[in-house]
Amino acid sequence: MSLDGLRAWVGEVERKLGMRTRVFLALTVIAIGIGGAAIYLAIDARDSSVSESDVQALQDQLEARIGAGGGGAAGTEAAQLEAKLNALKAEVEELRSESGKSPQGKGTSKNGASGGSSPGETGGASSGGSSDEAPGAAANSVKIQELLERAQEQNAQAEEGQSEK
């Protein structure tokens, strides 16, 4: 073996070793970066996570507010719904009594609004005939009945929500 052949072989080994060193350094830097990101995300997740004691404390606060306030916002909402329900019941009864008492010759309000119409009022362009009046009164009655049913459903849902708490 000659000295030049040995130098060439050592040079080749050095180049391969240099290339491997650079690749392994690059992989090491990437692995350290990924590890650092993982540590940061773990610390952030731990700091921003909610523990069972936090959930229990919040639940106790909500129960205290609901119990102390007599229902709080839910109680006032239920009272408002009950008031609307009573108003709608009154309107339904008024419309039922109007449709039963209105004579065939007089016009009734046909604008579709709920409440405020009397048997003698006309709703803008009234025909005065009996064929248009009965369907209009029936349509108002049906609309009011639907509103009443919807209000009853909302009231029942509000009461269920209060009973669950």
Mean pLDDT is lowest, of 48-52, 74-78, 107-111, for 107-111
pLDDT at 69 over 80: no
Give the DSSP H/E element, type plus range, for residue 110.
none
Mean pLDDT is lowest, of 3-7, 34-38, 156-160, for 156-160
pLDDT at 140 over 80: no
d(CA 63, CA 164) in angstroms, rounded, equals: 11
pLDDT at 139 over 80: no
The distance in angstroms from the start CA to the end CA of the chain is 93
Higher pLDDT, 136 or 22: 22
Angstrom CA distances, 146 to 34, 75, 84, 109, stand at: 62, 24, 13, 19
Distance of CA 96 to the CA centre of its chain: 37
pTM across the whole model: 0.33
Given the structure tokens 């009461």, which residue do they identify? 159
Q: Do 144 and 92 meet the contact criterion of CB atoms below 8 Å apart?
A: yes
Higher pLDDT, 8 or 76: 8
pLDDT at 52 over 90: no
Distance of CA 135 to the CA centre of its chain: 38
DSSP assignment of 52-80 equals: HHHHHHHHHHHHHHHHHTTTHHHHHHHHH
Given the structure tokens 């709920």, which residue do they identify? 114
